Amino acid sequence: MKFLFDDPAFDYQALRAAGYADFGGAQLGEIIAVASRIPGGDTDAWRREWTALAERVHGLATAALAQHRTLDARAALLRAHTYYRTAEFFLRDDPLHDPEAARLMRLSKETFAEAAGLMERPPEFVRIPYGDGSLPGYFYRADDSAGPRPTLIHHGGIDSTLEEGYFFIAAAAQARGYHVLCFEGPGQGSVLREQGLTFRPDWEEVVTPVVDFALARPGVDPERVTLVGTSLGGLLAVRAAAFEHRLAGCVAHDAVWQLGDVVWLPPFVHEWVEQGCDDFANPVMYGIAVQQTFRAGCCGRRCGRSGRRAPPNCCAGCPRSASRTWSGRCAVRSWCSTPRRTCSSPVWNTRRRCTRAWAAPRPCTCSPRTRAGEPTATPAP
């Protein structure tokens, strides 16, 4: 069901921001207004307009603080946090080294931290021991009583942030008598950006030290600790709960059960993965990943990175064309047919064709040729 955009990725991210309105993380009027100024699929306009909104609302918070209007300041800071995070979302060309992405995420974290300090019961920012380092978290107490309370441990998924846990679950659970410990694990938020730690499949190795930390907190009932994972975190949480038996329960919140449902891969790549042929599968998956930003990049036949219009036949007939990004050459449908013994690429499919995408950072050096009946994608004038 459409919310504000025809572009499904833009629509989902706008809806995601709007969903935080219940707990002060957004105002629907502001979201509708900013959406009206963003053409579908235009990532530059997305960043520009959401940033402008975030800065305006942040300014309201600064003015309110100067006038000692704490409630108004907190409300504006929570909204600014959401809008800064939303502005950053489609900066995906090189998010770990993009200074604008870093600036927006820093402002998102700072505005939330400032808002948290103005809450009636401010959460405690914590560092959870993990390996040779630590994981960031917020511990939200239901009250100051010494009696044991049921406790929820929450983490997000692929692109969730630590602070979003407040809107996902902490605000509602805290009001209903639960302690809540939100954290970011490897592959998520600041742990990825600042520590360079990536996702790991044995998520129980992440959750176990978090459970250790939670059980050491005063007022946590050791018999009533529940793990909650959102999105991809739902899949990770179920995996962790199978091994961490101190948990009383596990909630897979809006879970993603297969990454293949989010990032499209050719069927033969799935076969390679199942057969354990990582040396063949990884370069192809990397080539596809750099052309996708988890959004409908070719929606409207427009390149999600450069904004250039794609050729009329680019990705024509592809059943998943809505999930392609065109950057001068179709990175998924361009193949070469050089014999294996002369092809410098190690990646082959069952039809003895090199499957490395031309537009990948380490492109195939074979002579560019296309499959029979498929036109070569060339930049539009």
As annotated, the active-site residues are: 231
Instruction: Report in angstroms the alpha-carbon separations of 105 from 27, 83, 285, 288.
Output: 20, 10, 27, 26
Half-sphere exposure of 173 (CA within 13 A, CB side): 24
Rounded CA separation 381/331 (Å): 19
**Size of the chain, expressed as the number of residues it contains:** 381
DSSP H or E stretch at residue 79: helix 70-88
Determine the 3-state secondary structure of 346 from DSSP.
coil
Task: Please return the burial class of 318, using the count of CB atoms within 10 Å of its CB with bins 0-12, 13-18 and 19+.
Answer: middle
Q: Which candidate, 165, 31, 37, 138, places its Cα nearest to that of 86?
A: 31
Q: For the purposes of burial, counting CB atoms within 10 Å of the CB of 278, is it exposed (0-12), middle (13-18) or buried (19 or more)?
A: exposed
How many other C-beta atoms are found inside a 10 Å radius of the C-beta of residue 166? 27
